[in-house]
Amino acid sequence: MSTDTLHNEKELLNCIAEGDELAFTKLFEYYRNRIYSIAIKLTHSTTLAEEIVQDVFLKLWVKKFDLINIQNFSAYLFIVTRNEVYNVLKQISRNSSACLSDEQYQNVADNNPAKQVITKEFRFLLHKAVDQLSPQQKQVYQLIKDQGLKREEAADILKIRPETVKFHLAQAMKNIRAFCTLYVDLYIGLITCLSFLL
């Protein structure tokens, strides 16, 4: 089978749904480089990219009986890939929590060159998100998260009640999460879409 074209994809999917491992191998050979290309662009890690390819195809094999009902397999694979990359990046984001100080970020990044790149990108994204906050939320966030002050100390500096500091910090964290989620969703969607179109 040519690697440039996938002839009679519907028939191939029907064979896979019946458990045909050779047909599945053909599908894997045809699409694996596209998925890998998306994953490497987004994670900057060959290890993560390879894991994403394996996980995407594992999901396809596990749900092979559903393949006969898919009308547009490329679109379906796009969604599965996007979701898998998003889950990996979300996990990395959790591990490199927005609450980490610059010193803690450096400790996480020092262990792995791929993590250094990812951590740097998340730090940039975090700073962008903080810049979008209202002045009050930004002040509270910086006093507590960047300078490590306690709620009462921040309240004394800002001449507001500790409960107000708590409220502004909660709003800041909510806005930061929303900003980061939107940015990551758009970025993953764009890269994945472009990769499947090329």
Which of the four CATH numbers 3.40.960.10, 1.10.1740.10, 3.40.50.150, 3.90.550.10 does domain 9-88 have?
A: 1.10.1740.10
Q: What is the mean pLDDT of the chain?
A: 78
Mean pLDDT of 141-170: 91
CATH 1.10.10.10 segments of the chain: 102-197
Straight-line distance from the first to the last Cα atom of the chain, in angstroms, rounded to the nearest whole number: 20
Report whether pLDDT(87) > 50: yes
* CATH, domain 102-197, list 1.10.8.50, 1.10.10.10, 1.10.3720.10, 3.30.1490.190: 1.10.10.10
Q: What is the pLDDT of residues 39-69, one digit of tens each?
A: 888 777 788 888 889 999 999 999 999 898 8
Which tens digit of pLDDT belongs to each residue from 137-146? 999 988 998 8
Q: Map residue 151 onto helix, strand or coil.
A: helix
Nearby residues of 143 by Cβ (< 8 Å), 6 or more positions away = 149, 153, 154, 157, 158
Q: What is the C-alpha to C-alpha distance for residues 158 and 170, in angstroms, rounded to an integer?
A: 16
pLDDT(1) > 60: no
Structure-token pair, residue 33: 């480089």
Specify the domain boundaries for CATH 1.10.1740.10 within the chain: 9-88
Helical axes 73-95 vs 162-197, angle rounded to 10°: 150
The pLDDT value given to residue 57: 93
- pLDDT-derived band at 101 (thresholds 50, 70, 90) equals very low
Report the pLDDT value the prediction gives residue 115, as an integer from 0 to 100.
55
User: Which pLDDT score is estimated for 93?
Assistant: 62
